[in-house]
Amino acid sequence: MRFDLTDQEWAVIEPLLPPTRQGGERRDDRKVISGIFYVLRTGMPWDDLPERYGPHTTVYNRFNRWSKQGIWRSIFEQLQARFPASVEMIDSTSVKAHRAAAGAEKGGSRPRSEQKKRRSASHAADAPRKSTPSPTKKAASGALN
Q: How far apart are CA 100 and CA 7, in angstroms?
A: 40
pLDDT in tens, 71-118: 888 888 888 888 877 666 666 665 566 666 666 666 655 665 566 666
- Tell me the per-residue pLDDT of 3-21, one tens digit each, with 9 for 90 and over: 788 888 888 888 888 877 6
**Which class for 134: exposed (0-12), middle (13-18), buried (19 or more C-beta within 10 A)?**
exposed
Which amino acid is present at 116? K
Close Cβ partners of 50 (under 8 Å, ≥ 6 residues apart): 35, 38
